[in-house]
Amino acid sequence: MRRRNALSILDVVRHQPGVSRADLSRAVNLSRATVSNIVDELISIGMLEEIGAMNTSRGRKPIGLNFCPHSRYEAGVSIEDGKCRIAICDLDGNPTHRGAVNIGKQLNSDAAAKLAETVENLLQKAGGTKKRLGTLGLALPGPLQVDKPVLGETLPRPPKKYAGFAREMEKNLGVNVHICSNTRAAALAEARRGGLELDGWVIFVRLGHKVRCAVALDGRLVETESELGGDLGELCVPGNDFTCQCGKVGCINSVAAADAIIGLCQQRGLAVETTNQLIALVQSKDADARDIVRQAASAIGYGIATTINIFSPAAVVVSGPLVESGEAFWSVLDKSVKRYALTENLKRCEIRKANLWKEAEAIGASLFALSRDGLLPTLIAQDKAAIVGSMANDNALPEPVDEVALD
Ligand SMILES: [Zn+2]
């Protein structure tokens, strides 16, 4: 309860810099004494500061309060194939320091120690210590099973469990660790800091190891019950007869997931081991490489068209290395979207490249941690998401009609 009151107080001060204790007490509907106690505590840990006498028309001069975003730091880390990107952010979610480290593919206690050491070094550069670290957010390749038991074999792939690694990090840094999928982290950063202040639905599509998506509504990421959702790449494309790793035939992932693309290149005798090498070949107009990228773009376009038909979003934002492969990718994607999306929905929707995809995941992980701590309202909580879901269902259901009796 006390924590919730503290968060409400912080929220009011953030939105009304210079607010007095008396106004604060009215705004949060708590007694002056309670507010004063909590405010004193927040001042003692540096999250609030008192500012000089405020001028009022009545001549009384109450002391105002300000929020101090630099009093603590949040760290966000993205990990993929052992490569970590780190962003140290202030309490407004603005990155102040960035770094990178390779910890190897085994996420064991050595890897956790190495990552923790790098985070601490960055914190020191930022002028802090781990005492000033609030929380750590980890962005990892999805789908994820964060803390509950694995659901079973009904899933196309067993979700990866990272709880052990998160606990190691908690031990090393002495803070709470929150895990989210890298797609959702990227979406959060893009929605919050990518210059994308759009109302309505925005769909984020990330072209990584798999093709995955996340959705935001009115600038906030919609939280799902687990990190298992968003597998856009498991949608089957008409006419695609490639077999996917999941065992099904025709999934978007069978021609557009990073490892599938590399496999297709190798089948054609191309010396390609990374998506970046493929993009270099596309740019040098290699016919096979262009073919492979166009095939991926066509399948991804079908997936995007489907999200457009379901959500009628204001924008679809696409991130990942393939978005750098130029016209070969974008012209085919565009054609495919036009073929499958409803024209009216498509007219209202802008499809664009992500603004900060390389950095987005680390920054997004720290935003996710802030949000989980209640310090930044960037997530739409499950209950709200559920309400939105049920409203959509109500609208979709036609009113029951009495049968007309025929004479
Ligand atoms: Zn599949």
All domains in the chain, ordered by first residue: 2-67 (1.10.10.10), 73-188 (3.30.420.40), 196-354 (3.30.420.40)
pLDDT (mean) for 32-59 = 82
**């990892």: which residue's tokens?**
140
pLDDT (mean) for 310-319 = 94
Taking the centre of ligand 1 as the mean of its atom positions, its distance from the CA of residue 318, in whole angstroms, is 20
Q: In degrees rounded to 5, what are phi and psi of residue 245?
A: -60, -25
pLDDT of residue 298: 97
Taking the centre of ligand 1 as the mean of its atom positions, its distance from the CA of residue 111, in whole angstroms, is 31
Q: CA 79: distance to chain centroid?
A: 14
Cβ–Cβ < 8 Å for 78, 139: yes
Looking at every residue in the chain, the average pLDDT score rounds to 84
Residue 361 CA to residue 95 CA, distance in Å, equals: 12
Distances, alpha carbon 339 to alpha carbons 318, 346, 354, 400, in Å:
18, 11, 23, 34
pLDDT (mean) for 173-198 = 84
Cβ–Cβ < 8 Å for 86, 95: no
pLDDT of residue 61: 65
Cα dihedral across residues 291, 294, 299, 300: positive or negative: positive
Cβ–Cβ < 8 Å for 294, 332: yes
Taking the centre of ligand 1 as the mean of its atom positions, its distance from the CA of residue 272, in whole angstroms, is 22
Greater model confidence, 62 or 84: 84
Taking the centre of ligand 1 as the mean of its atom positions, its distance from the CA of residue 252, in whole angstroms, is 7
- Lowest mean pLDDT of 138-147, 195-204, 231-240, name the range: 138-147
- Lowest mean pLDDT of 13-22, 147-156, 297-306, name the range: 147-156
> 149 falls in which pLDDT band (50, 70, 90)?
very low
Helix extents (H) in 198-286: 253-256, 258-267, 275-283
User: Looking at the predicted structure, is the pLDDT value of residue 16 above 50?
Assistant: yes
Taking the centre of ligand 1 as the mean of its atom positions, its distance from the CA of residue 243, in whole angstroms, is 8
pLDDT over 70 percentage in the chain: 85
User: Looking at the predicted structure, is the pLDDT value of residue 358 above 80?
Assistant: no
User: Looking at the predicted structure, is the pLDDT value of residue 384 above 50?
Assistant: no
User: Looking at the predicted structure, is the pLDDT value of residue 329 above 90?
Assistant: yes
pLDDT (mean) for 338-351 = 96
User: Looking at the predicted structure, is the pLDDT value of residue 77 above 70?
Assistant: yes
User: Looking at the predicted structure, is the pLDDT value of residue 167 above 50?
Assistant: yes
Taking the centre of ligand 1 as the mean of its atom positions, its distance from the CA of residue 161, in whole angstroms, is 20
User: Looking at the predicted structure, is the pLDDT value of residue 56 above 90?
Assistant: no
Taking the centre of ligand 1 as the mean of its atom positions, its distance from the CA of residue 298, in whole angstroms, is 16
pLDDT of residue 398: 40
Identity at 148, one-letter amino acid code: K
Taking the centre of ligand 1 as the mean of its atom positions, its distance from the CA of residue 302, in whole angstroms, is 15
| Residue 256, token pair as written in the block | 């557009």
Taking the centre of ligand 1 as the mean of its atom positions, its distance from the CA of residue 283, in whole angstroms, is 28
Statement: the pTM of the whole predicted model exceeds 0.85 = no
Taking the centre of ligand 1 as the mean of its atom positions, its distance from the CA of residue 152, in whole angstroms, is 17
Residue 346 CA to residue 353 CA, distance in Å, equals: 16
**Number of helical H runs and strand E runs in the chain:** 14, 14
Greater model confidence, 356 or 42: 42
Taking the centre of ligand 1 as the mean of its atom positions, its distance from the CA of residue 234, in whole angstroms, is 5
